[in-house]
Amino acid sequence: MTLGSGRAGRLLPILIAAILCFLLCTTFRGPLPAQPKVAQTDSNAPSTALIAPPPPPRDPYTPQVPPQAIAYQRKGYALALFGLCWNLLGLWTLLQSGLAARLRDAVARRFPAWPPPPSFRAVALYFLGFTLFVQLWRLPIGLARLALEHQYGFARQGVGGYLADEALDTLFALLAIPLVWGGYRLYARSPRHWWQWLWAALIPLIFLVIVLQPLVIAPAYNRYTPLAPGPLRDKILALAAKAGITGGSVFVENTSRRTNHVNAYVYGLGPTTRIVLNDTALRLLPEDQLLAMVGHEMGHYVEGHIWFGFLGAALGAGVFLWLAARLLPWLALRKAARWRIRGVGDLAALPLVYLVMSAFLLAQSPIEAAISRYQEHRADAFGLRITGLSDATARLFVGFAERDYSDPDPPTLLHFWFGSHPTLTQRIAFARSYRTEVRH
């Protein structure tokens, strides 16, 4: 069977390429800014000709984005968009090439995989093979992203460290095996209501992940050490008390082993609450900007954005499962002969589930991004309210553009679809105007 046979087989790659080209065209909005020209001087000219007029004073609140930052942004946009299409294409290729069915047949020769439900060992073995395929398929994009970060001086991690992180990602992904096995059993017992039972099981699991993230998941990737006692720690704890955060501890994350980008966050629930600064932020940011950044992150915590994230994930899971219960049987029946799928309860249908889930996540991205932008604006306002550091906050955002090469004005379509924060230009303007607003 050829990969491109059939009408759907011909149209899907063309559709993916068309979407990619359209988004890339909207991303590249014109040529790079020209480098400033150096004035040519004549040695025979009067000495006054050598005196150049002084440059206009620099506005400290307008990011001076260097040409290399724009090049970095454009390459990053192109790589991210290509990665989205590449990931969807990988799942489709797994089905269209018949590899998903051949993997099922290989598993069935060792463990029973049909009739449904497949045994736990069959699910585990198939899921392992499927996960390894997905990880290997995505590896070129990940390595290209690492190379881009190295090219512009941000990455500090080598290929070996990156592959170690990928292996850790794979191990965490395999923890989903019991959930996948349970999903197959629920579908076999109740083909009409399986999604409701699976949704009910997912809700406490989502909550458990939120609880375990600062205790188990994050420490597997990074090392956390308490911030040394001193003026900065005292000011952060005083800021936490002012924000109403009690019992939180201040930690430093060894982020510099991977990147030079700066960040901070507040995470956890109750006794697991952590105020985290990465070591690059401690090294690169002045104290007032550190406090401004921490104040913003405290806003997320105090305003309950963790809980909104939990509710959003729970609701999103329910919507997806409801749609999947209607789409998957139709797709499995329509493509049964071409993909050699024996129904939704077949192990070979697992890539189809992930393909539908990936398409769903992509389609709902504008909603998720809009909610995130609103929450980020609320966190900006909270941070300004408890710190009063309007100028430091504005300069922090300027630094994101000048030092971290974040785009202060990203392409409109990409910002609408994926932008998780207000633009840096909007955030700078809000920070500068906040002092006037609170006076009134």
Tell me the per-residue pLDDT of 56-100, one tens digit each, with 9 for 90 and over: 667 788 999 989 999 999 999 999 999 999 999 999 999 999 999
Pick the range with the lowest mean pLDDT from 7-16, 352-361, 369-378, 387-396.
Answer: 7-16
Domain boundaries, given as residue ranges, for the chain: 64-440
Helix (DSSP H) and strand (DSSP E) numbers for the chain = 18, 4
Distance in angstroms (rounded) separating the CA atoms of residues 83 and 344 = 27
In contact, 331 and 355? CB cutoff 8 Å: no
Which has more pLDDT, 106 or 33?
106
**Model's pTM, two decimal places?**
0.85
The pLDDT score that the predictor gives to residue 41 is 45
pLDDT at 37 over 50: no
Residues 6+ apart with CB under 8 A from 182: 198, 201
Q: What order of strands is seen across the sheet that includes strand 249-253?
A: 224-226, 249-253, 274-278, 264-267
Q: In 3D, which of 358, 372, 357, 353 has the Cα closest to residue 417?
A: 372
Share of the chain above pLDDT 70, in %: 86
Question: One-letter amino acid identity for 432?
Answer: R
pLDDT at 22 over 90: no
User: Could you report the per-residue pLDDT of 205-220, keeping only the tens digit for each?
Assistant: 999 988 888 888 999 9
Average pLDDT for 232-239? 96
The pLDDT score that the predictor gives to residue 202 is 96
* Backbone torsions φ then ψ of 277, nearest 5 degrees: -110, 140
Question: One-letter amino acid identity for 94?
Answer: L
User: Could you report the per-residue pLDDT of 44-59, keeping only the tens digit for each?
Assistant: 544 444 565 666 667 7
The pLDDT score that the predictor gives to residue 30 is 41
User: Could you report the per-residue pLDDT of 241-259, keeping only the tens digit for each?
Assistant: 999 998 779 999 999 999 9
Q: Are strands 274-278 and 249-253 parallel, antiparallel or unpaired?
A: parallel
Which has more pLDDT, 22 or 414?
414
The pLDDT score that the predictor gives to residue 211 is 85
